Amino acid sequence: MLEESSKKFLIITSETGGGHTSAAAAIADGLKRFGAADCLVNIARAIEESHYLAQKGADFYNYLLRHHQHLMKYYYWAIERFRPNESNLFYRITSRYVKQLFEKYCPQIVVSVHPMVQHFFARALRELGLLDRIPLVTVVTDPCYGFWRGWACDEVSLYLVATEEARQQLLDYDVPAEKIKICGIPIHPKFQFQSEDQKLAARAELGLEPERFTMFINAGWVGGGNIPRIFEQMVTHGEQLNTSQAIFLAGRNEKLLQQANDLARRAPFPTKVIGYTSAMEKLMGAADVMISKLGGLTTFEALASRLPIIADTITPPMPQESQTATLISRYKAGVLLERASDVVPVVRSLIHEPAHLVSMQTAASRLAIPDATKRIVDELMRKIEDRVAVPRQAAEPETAAITQ
């Protein structure tokens, strides 16, 4: 009975990198925390689950991200040029999956957090005659100008974006202004500033020395890119960092996990090596600085934690990430690392110049967008309340349309 009266959300995402999944989880948690007691939220990994060929495309993206980051620009170009997510072939191989999702979850609103999934959902809604009954809302997880054209989709009824720059990009993609609202980027409320006592406790919980300067070396969800090479430089010249300690996150890369453990045994500074974790906030909370590729969600999670970023720009960032790099550099919330060999001097300067570190922490806090997830939830609740307000008799054809 509760399920029949629930407000039903379907969040569609993909595990191409970790940011989209983090955004989906943050919104799901936010709906339960800030929405209503009767919210029923389901998350679908729509690319991986829809078809074998689509899954292989996602796997290829993650392979490039892990092993050949310098080739990502060509992947980006190919997607922009050929737009496979909008093709008839892509729709044919995914349409059955989409209709099965509708039958299984009977969503009252569909929320996209990925630029490659919304077009085939939109087409299915249009063909089923459900666009006026099941709104499609897109939460853009790229925070700055220069992101994928795939985010723009005519059937989307509402876009929730992080910044004015993101809004301008959608306008330049001919999205009507009245469809766009600036809310911030959806990060989980657990990412927040840690007091000094909380930071010391977080280190102790991880088995680290509470008083040591702590570096969080983040190879990301997929585990790879230039971060292993940067860590190797830190180990090789680690005598200059021997008053510090490190956390190395290898993500879902078992080979990297072993390699990092081997390197850590040679490091002149204590290093705790971790594989995949869902407790990223604890690692950020324990750190004084993060060394990482600039994913949109990861960046704003760090900013919310007031954690300065040494950003890997050794390989030029993809277009949707390049403006994020510019943002943190302009506001002095981080340092852009253009050569792996520069990492040790940069970290050493932060260790020996505490005032510089504090100024970067302050800058990070200015860039953070507080309560963004709550604002996103408020917009989603308004959207579903408008939809639920439709007289019950008007909803009857919906089931018939889905089961055709």
Do 204 and 132 belong together in one domain?
no
Distance of CA 17 to the CA centre of its chain: 8
Q: Residues 286-297: what's their mean pLDDT?
A: 91
- One domain for residues 178 and 245: no
| Beta bridge pairs of residue 10 | 42, 110
Do both 148 and 218 map to the same domain? no
Considering the domain architecture, whether residues 256 and 316 belong to the same structural domain is answered as yes
Residue 215 shares a structural domain with residue 281? yes
In a domain, 329, yes or no: yes
CATH number of the domain where residue 221 is located: 3.40.50.2000
d(CA 239, CA 236): 8
Dist. CA 399–CA 296, nearest whole Å: 38
Residues contacting residue 107 through CB under 8 Å, at least 6 positions apart: 8, 9, 10, 42, 101, 134
Pick from 169-173, 241-245, 381-385: least confident: 381-385
On average, the pLDDT of the chain sits at 90
133-153 confidence digits (pLDDT tens): 999 999 999 998 989 899 999
Token representation of residue 138: 């897109």
- Look at residue 161 and tell me whether its pLDDT is greater than 90: yes
Q: Is residue 285 part of a domain?
A: yes
Residues 153, 30 share a domain:
yes
Tell me: do 153 and 122 sit in the same domain.
Answer: yes
Q: Which residue range(s) make up the domain with 359? A: 196-367
- Asked whether residue 190 is domain-assigned, the answer is no
Distance of CA 335 to the CA centre of its chain: 21
Q: Reply yes or no on whether the pLDDT at 399 is more than 80.
A: no
Q: Does 147 map to a domain?
A: yes
Residues 358 and 392 in one domain: no
What is the pLDDT at residue 392?
A: 45
Question: Is the domain of 170 the same as that of 42?
Answer: yes
2, pLDDT greater than 80: no
- pTM higher than the cut 0.85: yes
Task: List b or e across 34-66, with b for residues whose CB sees 16 or more CB atoms inside 10 angstroms.
Answer: bbeeebbbebbbbbbebbeebeebbeebbebbb
* Tokens standing for residue 62: 């993650």
**Are 216 and 284 contacting, i.e. CB atoms less than 8 angstroms apart?**
yes
Task: Classify residue 221: in a domain, yes or no.
Answer: yes
Per the structure, the count of domains in the chain is 2
Residue 361 shares a structural domain with residue 386: no
Question: Is residue 390 predicted with pLDDT exceeding 80?
Answer: no
Considering only residues 265 and 66, tell me which one the structure prediction assigns the higher pLDDT: 265
At 37, is the pLDDT very low, low, confident or very high (cuts 50, 70, 90)?
confident
My answer on whether 274 and 223 are in the same domain is yes
In a domain, 128, yes or no: yes
Q: Please provide the DSSP assignment of 65-132 as one string.
A: HHH-GGGHHHHHHHHHHH-GGGSHHHHHHHHHHHHHHHHHH--SEEEE-STTTHHHHHHHHHHTT-TT
**Does 220 share its domain with 170?**
no
Please give, one letter per residue, the 3-state secondary structure of 19-78. HHHHHHHHHHHHHHHHHCCCEEEEEEEHHHHHCHHHHHHHHHHHHHHHHCHHHHHHHHHH
